[in-house]
Amino acid sequence: MSESNTFDLLIIGAGPGGYVAAIRAAQLGLKTALVEKDQNLGGTCLNVGCIPSKALLHSSEVFYNLQKHGAEHGIQAKGLSVDLSTLMKKKAGVVNQLRQGVLQLVKKHGVQVFNGHGRLAGDGKVEIASGKSSITVAPKHILLATGSNVIELPFLPFDGKQIISSDDAIALDKVPKSLIVVGGGAIGLELGSVWSRLGTKVTVVESLPKIASTFDDDVSRQAQLIFKKQGLDFSLSTKITGSKKLKTKVVLAAETKKGSVNLEAEKVLVAVGRTPFTDGLGLETVGIELDERSRIPVNEQFQTVAKGVYAIGDVIPGPMLAHKAEEEAVACVETIAGQSGHVNYAVIPNVIYTDPELASVGIGEITAKEQGKEIKIGKFNFAANGRALAADAITGFSKVIACIKTDRILGVQIVGRNASELIGEAVAHMEYGGSAEDLARTVHAHPTLSETLKEAALAVDGNAIHSA
């Protein structure tokens, strides 16, 4: 590496936060460098997160639907089996194609990519180490986008074989006979669904009394009911307290409402969340202290306490989501370039990509009530929607929560097929400050699942057309 590098902006970490920031910065005319310690760009999301998990969800769904529902369509699909190595190759192909795409994009924009470990080295300086060589650069601005890592439980240390993380669970070489998933959030439910569809006996253990705990009770109840029909088991209000590894299984000690129990399975997937990643980042050299949840504190412009040092994405407070990181990337870089970047945190959608999918934006019924808001609610069942009936997607509902006084939409929650796509319309209406009536009077193509959202908006004032 040479020392002749002068940059307007140097970004550490090339996940959806970092690489998006690099592209936007280049578009705005900033001379930009991107430092990534891993071999590939794309971060958690592309390499071990959003993308591989969705590829596995799709493949396993094709198998599951043919096996369970083929006959209903006159498709004779007896003796179906899965070749796991082909299925994994398909996933790898998707990931590789996107890796190449991201690399080409940043290069096309003239971003200089350093493959190495970035570390703050005192005021305004960054040391980039690769193998035995290292250089120190002094960019005008530094952006930290180092993301997050899986949380390990002290009594369930990862060994990559019997006690595994999501990184391992997207790359198993054999379908396990049984799997305990510790954590009933997005990652646990998605990967639990994948392996359950492929033939594993999956039990989801959750310390809270419900799964998908950020969603309203009716949404998570409905989802759990359907997952149960699909073969997943649930042990709610259950706290794991210890583990014992035997040759062919792991035995977990757990406390339930009814007392102590032992749970056992061939493998245990620990999916209890992620923690910001700042190892070896040299934060102490510029006086940055982490908050109580190990996050880098920033102000509204994403500035840290160190002059010229900014941070975005999973490493700062807020939901750990790829699209949140991307929005922050754009807003932060635009601010650095003298524009007025902004992220509307009130309308960040949240999705669980199971079947049915769960999607929400804004506040739910529970939060609205906790905040003392006077609300009115409209709900519409997929069972009363023509397209849902034609597409075997009759379970679930759309739900619109609006302010009684202003009719403004405060939140939307959907449990049903394609909720991840349907929620986009709710986000757009909320972004523009739309009311339930605005949504209700928007023309929707027929027959589409999106009509469930229109009908839910109509139902806010008791005017749904297709419900009794």
Query: Which is nearer to ligand FAD, 98 or 464 (by Cβ)?
Result: 98
Of the candidate spans 31-39, 83-91, 239-247, 332-340, the one that interacts with ligand FAD by CB under 6 A turns out to be 31-39
Q: Which of residues 349-408 bind ligand FAD (CB under 6 A)?
A: 353
Query: Catalytic one among 73, 444, 446, 466?
Result: 446
State the nearest-atom distance from the C-beta of 21 to ligand FAD, in Å.
Answer: 9
Query: Which is nearer to ligand FAD, 192 or 378 (by Cβ)?
Result: 192
Query: Which is nearer to ligand FAD, 122 or 386 (by Cβ)?
Result: 122
Q: Which of residues 298-337 bind ligand FAD (CB under 6 A)?
A: 313-314, 320-323, 325
State the nearest-atom distance from the C-beta of 148 to ligand FAD, in Å.
Answer: 5
Q: Which of residues 230-289 bind ligand FAD (CB under 6 A)?
A: 277, 280-281
Distance CA 306, CA 142 (A): 10
Q: Is 10 one of the binding residues for ligand FAD (CB under 6 A)?
A: no
Q: Is 43 one of the binding residues for ligand FAD (CB under 6 A)?
A: yes
Q: Is 45 one of the binding residues for ligand FAD (CB under 6 A)?
A: yes
Residue from 7, 9, 10, 16 touching ligand FAD (CB under 6 A): that is 16
323: annotated active-site residue: no
Q: Is 17 one of the binding residues for ligand FAD (CB under 6 A)?
A: yes
Residue from 9, 26, 34, 35 touching ligand FAD (CB under 6 A): that is 35
Binding mask 72-111 for ligand FAD (x = CB under 6 A): ----------------------------------------
Place of tokens 């910001």: 276
Query: Which is nearer to ligand FAD, 180 or 436 (by Cβ)?
Result: 180
Total residues interacting with ligand FAD, rule: CB under 6 A: 37
All residues at 6 or more sequence positions from 41 whose CB lies less than 8 Å from its CB, including other chains: 14, 19, 34, 99, 102, 103, 106, 113
Q: Within 13 Å, how many C-alpha atoms sit on residue 33's CB side? A: 22
State the nearest-atom distance from the C-beta of 314 to ligand FAD, in Å.
Answer: 4
3-state secondary structure the chain: CCCCCCCCEEEECCCHHHHHHHHHHHHCCCCEEEEECCCCCCHHHHHHCHHHHHHHHHHHHHHHHHHHHHHHHCCCCCCCCCCHHHHHHHHHHHHHHHHHHHHHHHHHCCCEEEECEEEECCCCCEEEEECCEEEEECCCEEEECCCEEECCECCECCCCCCEECHHHHCCCCCCCCEEEEECCCHHHHHHHHHHHHCCCEEEEECCCCCCCCCCCHHHHHHHHHHHHHCCCEEECCCEEEEEEECCCCEEEEEEECCEEEEEEECEEEECCCEEECCCCCCHHHHCCCCCCCCCCCCCCCCECCCCCEEECHHHCCCCCCHHHHHHHHHHHHHHHCCCCCCCCHHHCCEEECCCCEEEEEECCHHHHHHCCCCEEEEEEEHHHCHHHHHCCCCCCEEEEEEECCCCEEEEEEEEECCHHHHHHHHHHHHHCCCEHHHHHHCCCCCCCCCHHHHHHHHHCCCCCCCCC
Of the candidate spans 3-11, 16-24, 301-309, 355-363, the one that interacts with ligand FAD by CB under 6 A turns out to be 16-24
Binding mask 127-166 for ligand FAD (x = CB under 6 A): ------------------xxxx-----------------x
Residue from 117, 197, 295, 454 touching ligand FAD (CB under 6 A): that is 117
Residue from 26, 187, 330, 363 touching ligand FAD (CB under 6 A): that is 187
Residue from 9, 10, 12, 457 touching ligand FAD (CB under 6 A): that is 12
State the nearest-atom distance from the C-beta of 248 to ligand FAD, in Å.
Answer: 26
Q: Residues in the site for ligand FAD, rule: CB under 6 A?
A: 12-18, 35-38, 43-45, 48-50, 53, 117-118, 145-148, 166, 187, 277, 280-281, 313-314, 320-323, 325, 353
Active-site residue list: 446
